[in-house]
Amino acid sequence: MNLLVWRRMTRWTGYTTRMSGYQLWDTLRGDLLDDFGTESDALECVQGLFEARELDEDPNIALVSVEDSGDTATIADGQALVRLARARSENAGRAET
């Protein structure tokens, strides 16, 4: 991920220091795409976008966790995020059967 984009993302998440949860970011533009209460909801969204063909195999998005303190951590981005969302979706499908 581009350092300039990361700095913009980190600066932007400073506005959400009282919110904990998960955020989906456009890593090219540094735009917040959406926020979620759970990692599961965020990954479900990513999987849905991928299935709808709105994301390619190497999308310019990142999933970031945000703590109440304002600390952020990237969970996954690009291809790794798509793989994580697919794996969670497959595991959820197996648990339902």
pLDDT by residue for the chain (97 residues), tens only, comes to 444 444 444 444 444 444 689 999 999 999 999 999 999 999 999 988 888 887 777 789 999 999 888 889 999 999 999 999 999 888 876 666 5
Distance CA 13, CA 65 (A): 10
Q: Which domain holds residue 11?
A: 3-91
Domain total for the chain? 1
Distance CA 28, CA 70 (A): 22
Question: Do 46 and 81 form a contact (C-beta atoms < 8 A)?
Answer: yes
Domain annotation covers residue 53: yes
Domain annotation covers residue 97: no
Domain annotation covers residue 63: yes
Instruction: Report the relative pairing of strands 31-36 and 61-66 from DSSP bridges.
Output: unpaired
Domain annotation covers residue 96: no
Domain annotation covers residue 28: yes
Domain annotation covers residue 54: yes
